[in-house]
Amino acid sequence: MRNTINPMLTKLRLSGMSQSLEVRLHEASSTGLTHLEFFELMLQDELNIRGDRQIERRIKLASFRDVRRLEDFDFSFNKTIKKSEIFELATGRFVREHRDVLWMGPPGTGKSHLCQAIGLSLIRAGMTVYYRSIFDLVRDFLHDEAMEGHERILKRYLEPDLLIIDDMGMKQLPKRSGEYLFEVILRRHDVRSTMMTSNRPLEEWGKLIGDIPSATAILDRFLHHSEVIQITGRSYRMGNSGKSSNGTKAPTGSATEEA
């Protein structure tokens, strides 16, 4: 009978049940599970597999630059970063309340790591996240506008529970950047949450965007229900200079390489 059940489960796309069938049959035989208990365990195995796959899909769709975790972040390096504040954001309450978050601080102080790690935590909690640098955002709209796909790309930015826009202030943005960013912020305002990082003061955004009225309108909407987190201190990367704790060069991609 086992030889016929597994193909049936596979045909029904019940891979979780198929993978755990032998183990559950052994458990039922050795512990005397009732039929109902056995069936419940099999259903739970299927749900677990599907849940894991959904998380994997959402992580892929999030397009993180790096998949970062909060447990890998070195909070001891910078005492201005309040661990309790970060873990509160990771609960996702600000997303459920449709509030926004703005990270301010110099390069290398952990903004990108933390926002991506929070995004990963929210995905594991069942939310959807989309990560883009500000340069990716502008490039996406410029490309798809040329291909007459504006609404299609806009939908990608409007649907996620949390949109993360990273690297604001790294360099001056191309013409019309303010228009694209304003439309995204305006359409998400009070409906979905947006998280941004910036290493430049807010008063310089007009110069960065090349459009002072658009920058003013963006900040007016974005800061309305926004939590501003100011991080100070030196760069984690510069402080470690590519060295591990024993003085040897840290391996590429290690947790010590980027904060």
Summarised one tens digit per residue, pLDDT across range 160-214 is 999 999 999 888 898 889 999 999 999 999 999 999 999 999 999 999 998 999 9
Sign of the Cα torsion 23, 29, 32, 34 reads: positive
| 236: pLDDT strictly greater than 80 | no
Tell me: do 23 and 96 sit in the same domain: no
d(CA 143, CA 51): 34
Domain containing 197 equals 64-240
> Would residue 141 count as lying in a domain?
yes
pLDDT at residue 11 in the model: 87
Reply yes or no on whether the pLDDT at 146 is more than 80: no
Q: List, for residues 83-95, the tens digit of each pLDDT value.
A: 999 999 999 999 9
Dist CA 128 CA 160 (whole Å)? 5
In this structure, the answer to whether residues 150 and 171 fall within a common structural domain is yes
Q: Are 242 and 250 in contact (CB under 8 A)?
A: yes
Residue 14 lies in a domain: yes
- Boundary of a domain, candidates 14, 33, 60: 60
| HEC per residue, 71-83 | HHCCCCCCCCCCH
pLDDT-derived band at 148 (thresholds 50, 70, 90) equals low
- 203 with 159, same domain: the answer is yes
How large is the average pLDDT for residues 21-39? 91
Q: Per-residue pLDDT averaged across 34-53, rounded?
A: 91
Same domain assignment for residues 99 and 173 = yes
143 shares its domain with 41: no
Which strand (E) or helix (H) includes residue 220? helix 212-222
CATH number at residue 129: 3.40.50.300
Residues 6+ apart with CB under 8 A from 228: 101, 102, 104
Segment 33-47 shows an average pLDDT of: 92
DSSP-assigned letters across all residues of 118-169: HHHHHHHTT--EEEEEHHHHHHHHHHHHHTT-HHHHHHHHHSSSEEEEEEET
Residue 235's pLDDT band, with cuts at 50, 70 and 90, is confident
Model pTM greater than 0.85? no
Residue 255: its pLDDT value, please?
A: 34
Number of domains within the chain: 2
Count CA atoms closer than 13 A to 59's CA, side-chain side.
Answer: 16
Looking at the structure, do residues 83 and 146 belong to the same domain, yes or no? Answer: yes
- Residue 111, pLDDT score: 94
